[in-house]
Structure 1
Amino acid sequence: MAIDVIDLRDFYSQRLGIVARRLINRGIQAHWPNMEGQCVVGLGYPTPYLGLFREDCERCIAFMPAAQGVLKWPTARPALASLVNEFSLPLQDAAADRILLVHALEMSDDPENLLREVWRVLSPSGRMMAIVPNRRGIWTRTDTTPFGHGRPYSRSQITQLLRQTWFTPSAWGEALFVPPINGSWFLRSAAAWERVGAALSLPFAGVHIVEATKQVYRPIAAKREHSRLIPVLPPVLAPSSCSTDE
Structure 2
Amino acid sequence: MVSAIGTLMVDTYATSYYQRRAGAKAAATVVAGDDEEGAVVPVHTHATHGHAHGSMSLELDSGETERLRHRVISQVLELGIIVHSVIIGIALGASESPKTIRPLIAALTFHQFFEGIGLGGCISQARFNTRAVAIMALFFSITTPTGIAIGIGISNIYSETSPTALIVEGVFNAASAGILIYMALVDLLAADFMSPKLQSNGKLQLGANVSLLIGAGCMSLLAKWA
TM-score tier by shorter-chain length is under 0.3
TM-score by length of 2: 0.24
Which structure carries more strand by proportion?
1
Task: Tell me which of the two structures has the higher relative contact order, counting C-alpha pairs closer than 8 angstroms and 6 or more residues apart.
Answer: 2
Q: Which has the higher helix share?
A: 2
